[in-house]
A and B are shown apart, each in its own frame.
Chain A
Amino acid sequence: MLRKFSIIAAVAGLLVATAAPALAAGHPEEPKKVDWSFNGPFGKFDQAQLQRGYKVYREVCSACHAASLLSFRNLGDKNGPFYDAKYPNSNNNPYVKAIAAEYQVSSIDEETGDTVQRPATSADRFPSPFPNEYAARASNGGALPPDLSVLAKAREGGPDYIYSLLTGYHEAPAGLTIDPTKHYNPYFPGDLSSAWSGDPKHVPHGGVIGMPPPLADDRVTYDDGTKATLDQEAKDVSAFLMWAAEPKMIERKEMGFSVLIYLLLMSGLLYASYRTVWRNESH
């Protein structure tokens, strides 16, 4: 029986492996593997890291990128960057309220009908830096900065990819002609064959990205005294974006552990019951 189930598992594994999409010629560099605190079945978000990551997002990313699926109250949700056990309802979390109040959001005055600006509340979504897609493109040389809400799930490699991309900028290899307003990044997907004047068998990995290198040493100043190196900032913001994309990840893994314990016990009991039922029957 074990043998048969191992065959099923193997078939399932094979199917998973085959489901991975193919990579074209001139594919990007494999993302660097980072040992995230939230890796593995018992991994958790590092709250200090999420707070630092939020700071990087706030001071750097949010200038061009929206995160329109996030509300301020989410910052105070369980396992979130500013969760405080004293405030199980994140709407009452004073830290969240203070962060929200720093933003102005547009609203309608119910008496005059005019569009007015008011301080955001914890129930409001993160405001977007541009009013619409066209404005975003116009301000960014035609490129559209993607929404960051689910970015960590919308890219192969997730936070590893984001970290690798942010730290992966370097000079374009000699022989690669690129638009001076664009930037070479070996982790960004693309096909550089047409821009490559060297050996056609050795087209460089990666692609050309519109975003200039966003992070650098001391780009932000961390409140907890952590040294703000490029590497540290990239890690922190990648972790923050993973939390933003999958805020229920820790809840999910914790529940999964209980469910698996239950199912193992249940299977044991059912097997014992099965053996007892069949003990006097040949089969």
Chain B
Amino acid sequence: MSGHPSTYEPKTAFTRWLDSRLPIVRLGYDSFVDYPTPRNLNYWWTFGAILSLCLGVQIATGVVLAMHYTANAGLAFNSVEHIMRDVQYGWLIRYIHANGASMFFIAVYIHMFRGLYYGSYKAPREILWILGCVIYLLMMATAFMGYVLPWGQMSFHGAVVITNLFGALPIVGQAITTWLWGGFAVDNPTLNRFFSLHYLLPFMIAGVVILHIWALHVAGQNNPTGVEPKSKADTVPFTPYATIKDGFAVSVFLILFAIFVFYMPNALGHADNYIPADPLVTPAHIVPEWYFLPFYAILRAVPDKLMGVLAMFGAIACLFALPWLDTSKVRSMRYRPTAKLYFLIFVVACCILGLCGAKLPDDPVIPGLKTFTLIDSDLNSFVWLSRIAALYYFGFFLVILPILGLVEKTLPVPDSIAKPALSHPAHAPAEATASPETKG
């Protein structure tokens, strides 16, 4: 699946025999050992490896949890507590799985912002980017259904709210929600199918990840300059250069992961989810998990139900269309000073949307300050803040990126990767210009 000529040479009789029948060692060697990697990748490029780890951790712990979990509305809550109390190391495995979801999303958001900043979605990497968006959608679906499984108050009412989103669709809405529920409300059939799908989707993610890596290896990795590698001087072999860097980054990421699992395992969850689901009482403040908050804020920013749902899905649709929305000829924003500024505002806008999603819409942003009522709420309220941020979110994709690419003044782009790398002050030019061959 790599797009470069294979250099694998089987050394033993057995590997030669195997290679002529199933060249799997060759595939691994070409993809993860000899694969030419741009030499200037920074730490933002290690999140691909971190995400692979996250997926592996979630699948491994999830398969194990499914051995003890019972997908039944009457038993689910207690079976989770059984895991926490009685199953050997059950508490550890469950906390890794629950916090692993958050770690997965932290990593995927950094990975996505990195792709956005360095133009990793531009030709010839459009399919690579879209496959990434598909993975992200599947992740959201998986995470949502996984959160329903403990069958606590937040699980239940979260499921009610999200499934009711589909009720906004005209004509078919009600039929779709009833079909999703398998009844007239979120109930045992809903829990059962969510469990089934929650088990299925990660393997679909793994499948799309393979396509994602395949597409990556066909187009080759992008790099901070956005200039394609031109010669061997621009690249290093994936192993050991990229593997060891990825390994180090994974290890540092695991420190963050471990701090959450062992010292604040419930910090990213909600206390209400330790109350068994009760269809008759909704928690006072129903908020989704943090990774959905920006979309939740966009949903609430629009006062109309259908339009709100469309805006929320539109926010994700923008990501799919991104390769054709950005008109710039320059790939990396390193050489697009104006775009860089808009990008930073975009990151801030996403964080603000996340903040708005966690707050009550009518609460004041600046406490105690009363301005004037615009349409439905005071201007100093989170709903208005989320409207401004949502407007910027869509404006960034639909207005700024298409127009800016045509009018902006960009900085000169280097001829090759090696060139800016050579000017790195830490390396003497004589040593750096030497190609790997002449060094040995």
Contact = CB atoms under 8 A, between A and B. Distances in A.
Direct contact between the two chains A and B in their complex (CB within 8 A): yes
Interface of A: 1, 4-5, 8-9, 11-12, 14-16, 18-24, 41, 69, 74, 146-147, 149-150, 153-156, 158, 189, 245, 247-248, 251-253, 255-257, 259-260, 263-264, 266-267, 270-271, 273-274, 277-278, 280-283
B78 A69 contact: yes
Contacts of B351: 11, 14-15, 18
Given A16-B268, A24-B284, A270-B244, A9 B290 contact: no
B19 interface: no
A132 to B, nearest CB: 14
Interface string B316-356: 00000000000000000000000000000000000100110
Contacts of A255: 92, 262
A247 B85 contact: yes
Interface of A is mostly: helix
A266 B251 contact: yes
A280 B39 CA distance: 12
Interface string B399-430: 00000000000000000001001101001000
A69 B272 contact: no
Contacts of B360: 22, 24
- Give the top 9 A-B pairs by smallest Cβ distance, nearest first: A256-B262, A282-B432, A154-B274, A19-B290, A270-B248, A21-B285, A22-B359, A267-B251, A248-B91
B293 interface: yes
Interface string B363-399: 1000000000000000000000000000000000000
B358 interface: yes
Contact of B106 (A1, A12, A245): A12
A156 to B, nearest CB: 5
Given A274-B248, A282-B422, A252 B92 contact: yes
B84 interface: yes
Contacts of B284: 24, 189
Contact of B254 (A1, A5, A150, A263): A263
Interface string B11-53: 0000000000000000000000000000111111000000000
Contacts of A158: 271
B39 A282 contact: yes
Given A256-B263, A282-B432, A263 B258 contact: yes
A15 B432 contact: no
A22 B251 contact: no
Interface of B: 39-44, 78, 81, 84-85, 91-92, 95, 106, 110, 236, 240-241, 244-245, 247-248, 251-252, 254-256, 258-259, 261-263, 265-268, 270-272, 274-276, 284-285, 287, 289-290, 293, 351, 354-355, 357-360, 363, 418, 421-422, 424, 427, 431-432, 436, 439
A267 B255 contact: yes
B43 A18 contact: no
A32 B229 CA distance: 60
Contacts of A280: 431, 439
A24 B285 CA distance: 8
Contact of B358 (A9, A21, A24, A189): A21
A153 B436 CA distance: 57
Given A18-B355, A24-B285, A252 B254 contact: no
Contact of B241 (A154, A252, A266, A277): A277
Contact of B427 (A12, A74, A189, A282): A282
A69 B92 contact: no
A79 to B, nearest CB: 12
A260 B255 contact: yes
Nearest to A20: B358
20 contacts: A4-B42, A4-B43, A16-B290, A18-B351, A21-B287, A154-B274, A155-B271, A252-B91, A252-B95, A252-B262, A256-B262, A257-B262, A263-B251, A270-B248, A273-B248, A274-B248, A277-B240, A277-B241, A280-B431, A281-B436
Nearest to A248: B91
Contact of A41 (B263, B289, B358, B424): B263
A134 to B, nearest CB: 13
Nearest to A146: B275
Contacts of A263: 251, 254-255, 258
Given A21-B270, A266-B251, A282-B39, A256 B244 contact: no
A4 B248 CA distance: 14
Contacts of A251: 91
Given A252-B95, A283-B236, 5 more contacts: A12-B256, A18-B354, A23-B285, A267-B248, A283-B41
A264 B254 CA distance: 10
Contact of A274 (B245, B262, B289, B290): B245
A253 B358 contact: no
A125 B271 CA distance: 24
Given A153-B274, A271-B248, A18 B439 contact: no
A277 to B, nearest CB: 5
B263 A253 contact: yes
Nearest to B103: A12
A38 to B, nearest CB: 12
Given A69-B81, A259-B258, A22 B274 contact: no
A72 to B, nearest CB: 13
A283 B234 CA distance: 9
B261 A256 contact: yes
B290 A267 contact: no
A58 B43 CA distance: 56
A283 B258 contact: no
Contacts of B91: 248, 251-252
A251 B259 CA distance: 15
A283 B248 CA distance: 16
Contact of A154 (B110, B236, B275, B418): B275
A264 B255 contact: yes
B244 A260 contact: no
A260 B259 contact: yes
B421 A283 contact: yes
B40 A253 contact: no
B26 to A, nearest CB: 24
A263 B249 CA distance: 11
Contacts of B92: 252, 255
Contacts of A189: 284
Nearest to A191: B284
A169 to B, nearest CB: 21
B38 to A, nearest CB: 9
B285 A259 contact: no
B266 A154 contact: no
Contacts of A16: 267-268, 290
